[in-house]
């Protein structure tokens, strides 16, 4: 078992790096425009499209224009996704006859998919028509990932350019990311997944007869959609019998590929990648895990390539890998320990905590997937995170709270990590007696201001949102689990939203107007209070001259800087969240094992 | 100047500083420092809570709340004390400087002429572009530029150098500094600075906290500290609802008290660096002043830490000011002694240091004494002939009219010394020839980096005197240190390439610029800056001004012209070009102190969490006791110990803040590793020990 986790992790990383290296070349040539100048027809079609849209393809946007373009793009997208959900009942490709989605859920979902969060308050198979899934949700899976790429590229340009006014053209960056990178990769992955058994059809839902009648209990819901609770505050359960199971269908594979590649994570079905139609085999599981880190890893290689020093990229990658491997270790360690309540009852403690896990994946692949999906801002799950052991749940929650900088979201992981790098450089630069610089750019008051906003915003959203929810009755109403675990669920929900992850501790009834609105706000501000400062930094850095590296300059490559970067990420993450984590998973762990 | 003799906590400074730290409790003063302002607000709130609790309805025992409040006030006071002490030291130095410029009277002239109408007024009422007359015995009333006259000036008040210097109009010696004294003759001076704007005034303003403008890096660091403070504010504020929820969920204990939350907040926010930040800045400025350097802005001091390239003038910086004779190389058929004898004759009347060194060398080597010369006419060096020497056997008649042009009768013996070219030309006029061996010797000497001086007697070339540049002792080691720090040194010289290369090799500089004209210097600076390097240089002449203005750190010599001083961003009162190296070190030291204390401050938080979190929530979740790794006496004791440690560490670090982190000439990597180990790892470990110790003392005293 132990050797299995080591083997799987090592094999995973090796395959990842082997694939990411060549991909980084494609990324660089696609995003710096050399691909479209080498193949004239690509350049011509770019220009034709720009003319059609009334965009000046040659414009080199200053950072605020770039940010404005992204905001406009998102606002239009939000209106579009919202409208489609509300009107889906009268739109085509709706064999299951899904009606209009509620306004608050539509609001939440539109922001969720635009911001690359893919938090899902709804269940896909019982809420969305195929048309909505494909045109609104899958489409925004592409565009939100492209946005992340664009922002990362703009930041890299900030480091590379000297005394430049602009950071690139937002429209071109989004177009090139989508058409040259995301679409072809998704096609390959989708076809592979279909080969593994992922479904892809427009058929209606299929009813199949069960071999025996099943009795199960469902919580009773009142007129307001809230679970009805008895006098003790426990939900009222009703016995239900059935002999028929309904199998939902749909164009799953096409959405599954970009769900992973774009670190979106929004499942076609509620069970997400635990569902056999989404993720049928260990091999499909491996490919899905690879897809999550593929572009983020390639982007880091590309970063090194683009700034003209591959070591810079390797250093960032080293820091990410170190954090990743450590977290996999902790997660696995937490999950091979069975729940002591069960072992006290005489159950075997082997193979560990299997609650909420698929037997076809087991503890190793489940732990690995859990860490990968929360290290990146993916949020797809093949395991119920709510059923992880307390410390097993702390790992994904904390990875999310670090800002998902361990490989991270497409683009978002790199720019998030570079924000930490700027912070690390600021302190360590001072410690060697120089005003700080990173990659030859001086880090001054303006950059620090933006770094402060980017790092400060998400803790405010997470802690503020959680505090509000545990104080208000509407917030507490959604909590099915009392005590520290219920607290963890709310904390996880806000962490996941504000950092645009999208995975959830289930157990929290989040599809209520209160949570839909609160989490929607957290997702929107969580995304843009980082993107806008990052673009501002890019703009300011691009305007600066690039200083020469001497032996007196702080070397931002090599093991020392890896440790420094890891230290900065961990210290910031620890100092901000220790009290909250102490009252959530830590106390839960102590209570569980302290008996 | 009272440079020395002020120990760190000298009572002459410490006692006023204590008073000052209470005066600084005013919220208006605290507002300038956001981190300490939060502590100040926390102190006020806990005091109010404590007084309220005296009535018996407090959220915690009144004694506990008031004890926390008291230590929070101490935290503020300690930070104030650090700042006041740094200011006090700075002011003591400034006062010493200021004492030199007592307000005196000035003789204002109606126009820029000696005989214009004189109006006597207070020197403080002089304005820029006024004209003043300064006569023997007068104190120079303001910084200015000499328009007319020549005078000897005693600048010892500023430089400490007792020998008077000559100041005259035009050229490189036209600047006078306020506070110096004219010893002889008179000067007409144009005032170049309004009162309060002179260099000294600017420097004084920078060591007085209230007027001190934050330097750019200080602003950036403050932003970081404020954002850390805000983060912890959110963390602590959210703990109250979390705690209320937890109490409800666990059904045990009571919500965390406001006092504990404030204590936690104050412990977490970076009070250590927040409290010492301005003291570090002031101390940096006063270290500059101790080095007798006046910086015009804090920005310049910071930039000094970033310098990548140092441009150093050869003469005076790398080599001693003067070249010295080091060898006689005779022509074929001439003995060394003959050459020495003639060379000495040619130099007897030569008062230049080079000339004197020839006389000395001849004496040392061949025991040749200086002698009285009869019928001799000395030929001084001129820029046209580029030779000097002596004519012997000149008729007495001509000597009678000294000062007349000596052309009449040809001398019996013409002895000349000069550059190879000049002597070659001279030989052509007198019909002698220039042996090839001498030519070779000249090249040899030049290749060694020395200056060849050819000596001729009549039509015969006797040989070469080697004049050597003497590289300053210890300079090579300094340059090696600079190289370790990643700073490149470039020697600037008017010498030819061969000579320059040899001296560069001997002194161990990285590069040199030979046959440099002022515009070459400017071009070199621009070239380095275009490649992204920060350049520092020193200069004194008016023709240095453009280069000084272009350089990122420009140190003008106090002895230099007003133009040079205006163009530079620092003035070295000692006019010592080697000072540049010290300036770089002071700049670096200031940044290092800031960075190290910030790291230390943030690293401290880990231990404080371990002390306070179990203490704050133990009543709700007893299991959290497991996190109390220090095994502290009680929750109250844990919180008190953390707060007390947090206050005392400020006092403990005052000496470090004022003296600065010791600078070591290491490369960036080793230096960082070292400081991370000391201040990062140390910052994590020290508070564990400190808090435990305070807890034990509190326990032993039976206070908790």
Tens digit of pLDDT for each residue in A502-519?
898 878 888 889 999 999
Distance, in Å, from the CA atom of A376 to the CA atom of A386, rounded to the nearest integer, reads 18
Classify residue B677 by its DSSP letter: I
Q: What is the pLDDT of residue B111?
A: 83
Residue B492 near residue B528 (C-beta atoms within 8 A)? no
Q: What is the pLDDT of residue A251?
A: 93
DSSP string, A25-59: HHHHHHHSSHHHHHSHHHHHHHHHHHHHHT--TT-
Contact residues, chain B, for A574 at CB < 8 Å:
606
- CA distances in angstroms from A31 to A21, A45, A151, A171, A419, listed in the order given: 16, 16, 12, 12, 21
Nearest to A429 by CA among A456, A452, A403, A448: A448
Chain B within 8 Å of A472 (Cβ-Cβ)? Answer: no
Q: What is the pLDDT of residue B7?
A: 67
Contact residues, chain B, for A426 at CB < 8 Å:
220-221, 224
- Contact between chains at A551 and B668 (C-beta distance less than 8 A): yes
Distance, in Å, from the CA atom of B138 to the CA atom of B180, rounded to the nearest integer, reads 9
Interface predicted TM-score (ipTM) of this complex, two decimals: 0.90
Distance, in Å, from the CA atom of A289 to the CA atom of A370, rounded to the nearest integer, reads 10
* Banded pLDDT at B2 (limits 50, 70, 90): very low
pLDDT tens digits for B586-601?
A: 888 988 999 999 999 9
Residue A503 near residue A532 (C-beta atoms within 8 A)? no
Residue B539 near residue B545 (C-beta atoms within 8 A)? yes
Q: What is the pLDDT of residue B370?
A: 67
Q: What is the pLDDT of residue B224?
A: 92
Q: What is the pLDDT of residue A124?
A: 87
- Contact between chains at B587 and A433 (C-beta distance less than 8 A): yes
Contact residues, chain A, for B308 at CB < 8 Å:
547-548, 550, 552
- Contact between chains at A579 and B609 (C-beta distance less than 8 A): yes
The 10 Å CB-count burial string (b at 16+, else e) for A219-228 is eeeeeeeebe
Least confident of A119-123, A222-226, B529-533, B625-629: A222-226
Low-confidence ranges of chain A (pLDDT < 50): 1
Average pLDDT value for chain B:
83
pLDDT tens digits for B274-322?
A: 999 988 988 888 888 888 888 877 788 888 888 888 888 877 677 776 7
Distance, in Å, from the CA atom of B414 to the CA atom of B56, rounded to the nearest integer, reads 110
Which residue of chain A is at minimal alpha-carbon distance from B593?
A431
Query: Helix, strand, coil shares of chain B as percentages rounded to 5?
Result: 55, 15, 30
For A207, the 3-state DSSP assignment is strand
Q: What is the pLDDT of residue B407?
A: 47
pLDDT tens digits for B198-247?
A: 666 666 666 665 566 778 888 889 999 999 999 999 999 999 999 999 89
Q: State the distance between the two ends of chain B, measured CA to CA, in whole angstroms.
A: 51
Q: Please give the sequence-ordered ranges of beta strands (E in DSSP) within A10-126, or none if there are none.
A: none
Residue with the bigger pLDDT between A200 and B254: it is: A200
Q: How many Cβ atoms sit within 10 Å of the Cβ of residue B374? A: 10
Q: What is the pLDDT of residue A545?
A: 87
Q: Domain spans of chain A?
A: 206-247
Give the pairing of strands B118-122 and B181-191: unpaired
Classify burial at B124, counting beta carbons within 10 Å of its beta carbon; exposed 0-12, middle 13-18, buried 19 or more.
middle
Which residue of chain B is at minimal alpha-carbon distance from A490?
B242
* Banded pLDDT at B400 (limits 50, 70, 90): very low
Q: What is the pLDDT of residue B401?
A: 47
- Is B605 annotated in some ligand binding site? no
Chain B within 8 Å of A195 (Cβ-Cβ)? Answer: no
Residue B71 near residue B640 (C-beta atoms within 8 A)? yes
- Contact between chains at A553 and B676 (C-beta distance less than 8 A): no
Residues of chain B with pLDDT > 70, as a percent, come to 90
Contact residues, chain A, for B598 at CB < 8 Å:
427, 430
What tokens appear for A382 in the block?
């093949």
Number of H helices, E strands in chain B: 24, 21
Residues of chain A with pLDDT > 90, as a percent, come to 68
Structural domains in chain B?
Answer: 105-192 (2.70.150.10), 298-318+473-498+505-580 (3.40.50.1000), 320-470 (3.40.1110.10)
Q: Is the pLDDT of residue B404 over 60?
A: no
> Positive or negative, the Cα torsion across A283, A284, A289, A293?
positive
Q: State the distance between the two ends of chain A, measured CA to CA, in whole angstroms.
A: 28
- Contact between chains at B621 and A591 (C-beta distance less than 8 A): yes
Distance, in Å, from the CA atom of A106 to the CA atom of A240, rounded to the nearest integer, reads 30
φ and ψ at A217, to 5 degrees?
Answer: -110, 140
Q: What is the pLDDT of residue B290?
A: 82
pLDDT tens digits for B177-188?
A: 777 788 888 889
Strand partners, B490: B311, B511
Identity of the highest mean pLDDT range in A217-226, B69-78, B288-297, B487-496: B69-78
Rounded to two decimals, the pTM is 0.83
Q: What is the pLDDT of residue B380?
A: 78
Cis geometry, peptide bond prior to residue A351 (ω within 30 degrees of 0): yes
Cα Dmax for chain B: 124
What is the average per-residue pLDDT within B364-392? Answer: 77
How far is C-alpha B318 from the chain's CA centre? Answer: 18
- Contact between chains at B591 and A440 (C-beta distance less than 8 A): no
Q: What is the pLDDT of residue A142?
A: 94
* Banded pLDDT at B108 (limits 50, 70, 90): confident
| Residues of B marked as catalytic | 313
Chain B within 8 Å of A483 (Cβ-Cβ)? Answer: yes
- Is B542 annotated in some ligand binding site? no
Distance, in Å, from the CA atom of B415 to the CA atom of B378, rounded to the nearest integer, reads 10
Sole residue written with tokens 């504990």: B260
Give the pairing of strands B413-418 and B387-392: antiparallel
Mutate to test the interface with B, among A308, A390, A430, A445 (most CBs of B within 10 A): A430
Q: What is the pLDDT of residue B158?
A: 63
Q: What is the pLDDT of residue B410?
A: 58
Contact residues, chain B, for A547 at CB < 8 Å:
308, 532-534
Phi-psi region of B516 (alpha: psi -120 to 50; beta: other; left: phi over 0): beta
- Is B382 annotated in some ligand binding site? yes
Q: Is the pLDDT of residue B118 over 60?
A: yes
Spell out the residues 6+ positions from residue A321 whose beta carbon is closer than 8 angstroms to its own: A13
Which residue of chain A is at minimal alpha-carbon distance from B531?
A548
Chain B within 8 Å of A214 (Cβ-Cβ)? Answer: no
Distance, in Å, from the CA atom of B356 to the CA atom of B325, rounded to the nearest integer, reads 9
pLDDT tens digits for B410-435?
A: 567 888 888 888 888 888 888 888 88
Residue B599 has its nearest CB partner, among A427, A555, A558, at A427
What is the average per-residue pLDDT within B327-351? Answer: 85
- Contact between chains at A587 and B624 (C-beta distance less than 8 A): yes
- Contact between chains at A590 and B626 (C-beta distance less than 8 A): yes
Contact residues, chain B, for A433 at CB < 8 Å:
305, 587-589, 591-592, 595, 663, 671
Distance, in Å, from the CA atom of A391 to the CA atom of A381, rounded to the nearest integer, reads 17
Residue with the bigger pLDDT between A372 and B623: it is: A372
- Contact between chains at B532 and A546 (C-beta distance less than 8 A): yes
Side-chain half-sphere of B529: how many Cα atoms within 13 Å?
A: 17
Q: Is the pLDDT of residue B99 over 90?
A: no
Residues of chain A with pLDDT > 70, as a percent, come to 99
Residue B224 has its nearest CB partner, among A426, A468, A471, at A426
């Amino acid at each position: 078992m132990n050797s299995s986790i080591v083997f799987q992790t090592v094999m995973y990383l090796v395959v990842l790096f082997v694939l990411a290296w060549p991909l980084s070349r494609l990324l660089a040539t696609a995003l710096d425009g050399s691909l479209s100048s080498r193949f004239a027809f690509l350049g011509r079609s770019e220009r034709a499209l720009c003319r059609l849209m009334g965009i000046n393809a040659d414009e080199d946007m200053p950072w605020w224009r770039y940010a404005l373009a992204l905001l406009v793009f998102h606002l239009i997208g939000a209106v579009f996704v919202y409208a489609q959900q509300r009107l889906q009942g009268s739109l085509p490709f709706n064999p299951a006859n899904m009606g209009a989605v509620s306004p608050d859920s539509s609001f939440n979902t539109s922001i969720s998919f635009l911001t690359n969060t893919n938090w899902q308050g709804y269940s896909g198979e019982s809420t969305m028509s195929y048309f909505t899934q494909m045109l609104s949700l899958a489409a925004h899976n592409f565009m939100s990932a492209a946005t992340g790429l664009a922002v990362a590229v703009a930041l890299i340009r900030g480091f590379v350019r000297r005394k430049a006014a602009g950071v690139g053209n937002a429209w071109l960056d989004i177009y090139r990311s989508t058409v040259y990178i995301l679409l072809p990769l998704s096609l390959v992955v989708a076809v592979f997944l279909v080969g593994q058994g992922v479904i892809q059809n427009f058929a209606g839902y299929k009813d199949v007869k069960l071999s025996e009648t099943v009795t199960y209990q469902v919580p009773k819901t009142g007129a307001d959609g809230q679970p009805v609770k008895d006098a003790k505050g426990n939900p009222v359960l009703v016995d239900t019998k059935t002999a028929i199971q309904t199998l939902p269908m749909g164009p799953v594979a096409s959405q599954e590929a970009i769900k992973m590649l774009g670190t979106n994570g929004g499942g076609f079905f509620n069970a997400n990648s635990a569902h056999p139609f989404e993720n049928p085999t260990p091999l499909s599981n491996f490919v899905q895990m690879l897809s999550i880190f593929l572009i983020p890893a390639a982007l880091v290689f590309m970063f090194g390539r683009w700034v003209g020093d591959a070591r810079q990229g390797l250093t960032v990658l080293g820091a990410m890998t170190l954090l990743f491997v450590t977290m996999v270790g902790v997660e696995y360690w937490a999950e091979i320990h069975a729940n002591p309540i069960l072992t006290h009852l005489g159950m075997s403690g082997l193979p560990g905590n299997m609650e909420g896990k698929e037997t076809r994946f087991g503890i190793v692949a489940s732990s690995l997937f859990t860490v990968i999906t929360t290290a990146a801002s993916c949020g797809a799950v093949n395991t119920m995170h709510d059923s992880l052991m307390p410390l097993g749940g702390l790992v994904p929650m904390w990875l999310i709270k670090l800002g998902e900088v361990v490989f991270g979201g497409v683009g978002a992981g790199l720019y998030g990590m570079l924000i930490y790098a700027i912070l690390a450089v600021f302190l360590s630069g001072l410690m060697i007696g120089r005003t700080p610089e990173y990659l030859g750019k001086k880090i001054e008051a303006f950059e620090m201001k933006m770094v402060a906003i980017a790092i400060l915003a998400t803790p405010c959203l997470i802690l503020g949102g959680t505090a509000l929810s545990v104080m208000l009755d509407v917030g507490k109403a959604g909590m099915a689990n009392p005590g520290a675990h219920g607290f963890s669920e709310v904390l996880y929900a806000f962490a996941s939203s504000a950092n645009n992850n999208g995975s959830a501790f289930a157990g929290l009834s989040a599809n209520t107007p209160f949570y839909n609105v609160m989490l929607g706000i957290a997702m929107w501000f969580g995304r843009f209070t980082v993107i806008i400062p990052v673009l501002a930094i890019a703009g300011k850095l691009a305007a600066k001259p690039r200083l020469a590296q001497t032996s007196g300059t702080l070397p931002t490559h090599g093991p020392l800087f890896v440790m420094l970067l890891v230290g900065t990420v961990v210290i910031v993450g620890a100092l901000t969240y220790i009290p909250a984590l102490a009252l959530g998973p830590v106390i839960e762990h102590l209570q569980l094992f302290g008996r | 100047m009272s440079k020395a003799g002020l120990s760190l906590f000298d009572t002459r400074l410490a006692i006023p500083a204590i008073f000052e730290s209470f005066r600084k409790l005013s919220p208006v003063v605290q507002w300038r420092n956001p981190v300490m302002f939060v502590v100040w607000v926390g102190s006020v709130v806990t005091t109010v809570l404590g007084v309220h609790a005296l009535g018996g309805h407090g959220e915690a025992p009144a004694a506990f709340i008031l004890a926390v409040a008291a230590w929070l006030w101490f935290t503020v006071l300690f930070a104030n004390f650090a700042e006041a002490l740094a200011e006090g030291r700075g002011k003591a130095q400034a006062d010493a400087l200021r004492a030199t410029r007592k307000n005196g009277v000035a003789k204002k002239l109606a126009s820029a002429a000696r005989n214009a109408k004189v109006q006597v007024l207070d020197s403080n009422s002089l304005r820029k572009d006024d004209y003043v007359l300064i006569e023997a015995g007068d104190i120079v009333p303001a910084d200015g530029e000499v328009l007319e006259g020549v005078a000897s000036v005693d600048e010892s008040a500023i430089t400490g150098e007792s020998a008077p210097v000559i100041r005259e109009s035009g050229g490189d010696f036209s600047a006078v500094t306020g506070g110096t004294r004219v010893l002889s003759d008179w000067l007409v001076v144009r005032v170049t600075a309004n009162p309060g704007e002179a260099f000294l005034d600017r420097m004084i303003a920078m060591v007085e906290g209230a007027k001190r403008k934050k330097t750019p890096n200080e602003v950036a660091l403050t932003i970081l500290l404020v954002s850390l403070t805000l983060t912890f504010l959110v963390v602590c504020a959210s703990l109250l609802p979390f705690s209320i929820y937890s109490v409800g969920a666990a059904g045990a204990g009571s919500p965390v008290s406001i006092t504990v939350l404030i204590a936690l907040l104050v412990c977490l926010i970076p009070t250590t660096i927040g409290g010492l930040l301005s003291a570090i800045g002031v101390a940096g400025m006063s270290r500059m002043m101790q080095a007798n350097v006046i910086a015009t802005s804090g920005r310049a001091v910071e930039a000094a830490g970033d310098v990548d390239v140092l441009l150093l003038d050869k003469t005076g910086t790398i080599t001693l000011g003067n070249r010295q004779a080091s060898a006689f190389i005779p022509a074929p058929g001439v003995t060394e002694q003959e050459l020495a004898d003639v060379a000495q004759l040619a130099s007897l009347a030569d008062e230049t240091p080079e000339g004197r060194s020839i006389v000395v060398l001849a004496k040392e080597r061949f025991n040749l004494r200086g002698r009285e010369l009869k019928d001799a006419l000395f030929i001084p060096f001129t820029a046209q002939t580029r030779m000097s020497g002596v004519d012997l056997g000149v008729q007495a008649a001509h000597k009678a009219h000294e000062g007349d042009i000596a052309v009449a009768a040809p001398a019996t013996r013409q002895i000349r010394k000069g550059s190879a070219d000049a002597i070659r030309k001279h030989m052509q006029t007198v019909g002698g020839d220039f042996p090839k061996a001498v030519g070779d010797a000249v090249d040899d000497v030049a290749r060694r980096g020395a200056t060849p001086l050819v000596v001729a007697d009549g039509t015969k070339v006797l040989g070469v005197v080697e004049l050597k540049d003497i590289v300053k002792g210890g300079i090579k080691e300094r340059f090696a240190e600079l190289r370790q720090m990643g700073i490149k040194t470039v020697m600037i010289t008017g010498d030819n390439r061969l000579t320059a290369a040899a001296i560069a090799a001997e002194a161990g500089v990285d590069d040199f610029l030979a046959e440099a004209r002022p515009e070459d210097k400017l071009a070199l600076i621009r070239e380095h800056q275009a490649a992204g390097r920060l350049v520092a240089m020193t200069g004194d002449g008016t023709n240095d001004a453009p280069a000084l203005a272009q350089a990122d750190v420009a140190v003008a010599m106090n002895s230099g012209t007003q133009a040079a001083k205006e163009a530079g961003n620092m003035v070295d009162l000692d006019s010592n070009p080697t000072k540049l190296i010290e300036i770089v070190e002071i700049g670096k030291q200031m940044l290092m102190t800031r960075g190290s204390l910030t790291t230390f401050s943030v690293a401290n938080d880990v231990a404080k969490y371990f002390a306070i979190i179990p203490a704050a929530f133990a009543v709700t979740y007893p299991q959290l006791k497991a996190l109390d790794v220090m095994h502290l006496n009680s929750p109250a004791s844990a919180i008190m110990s953390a707060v007390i440690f947090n206050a005392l560490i400020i006092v403990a670090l005052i000496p470090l803040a004022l003296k600065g982190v010791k600078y070591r000439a290491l490369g960036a990597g080793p230096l960082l590793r070292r400081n991370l180990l000391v201040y990062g790892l140390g910052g994590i470990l020290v508070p564990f020990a400190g808090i435990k110790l305070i807890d034990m003392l509190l326990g032993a005293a039976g206070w908790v």
